[in-house]
Structure 1
Amino acid sequence: MSVLQNFYKYHQTMKMPSEPAIRASDGILSDIRAIRRSVRLSGFC
């Protein structure tokens, strides 16, 4: 969770709402969700 908060903090300090950056952050967030889902399924949580 701290990694996600650091990412949000870094994203806010950039203040660059360019579409590629938004798409990249969306991809990163969806990757994080997929990783957390697989971790939950394998029982590490």
Structure 2
Amino acid sequence: MLAVLYAVAQRVDEHPVLAVTLRFPVVRPVDPDWVALESIGVAGFYGD
């Protein structure tokens, strides 16, 4: 197992993007007041 960790650390040193790719997903509770940015209309957000 330690050999695998060393190999992964070496790969991440060579390709730092792997650190983001290999990270564990964070499970967060959904906030009922949260609004996706894609659902907001850009034209009417600031008014006319």
Q: Give the TM-score of the pair, scaled to structure 2.
A: 0.32
Larger relative helix fraction? 1
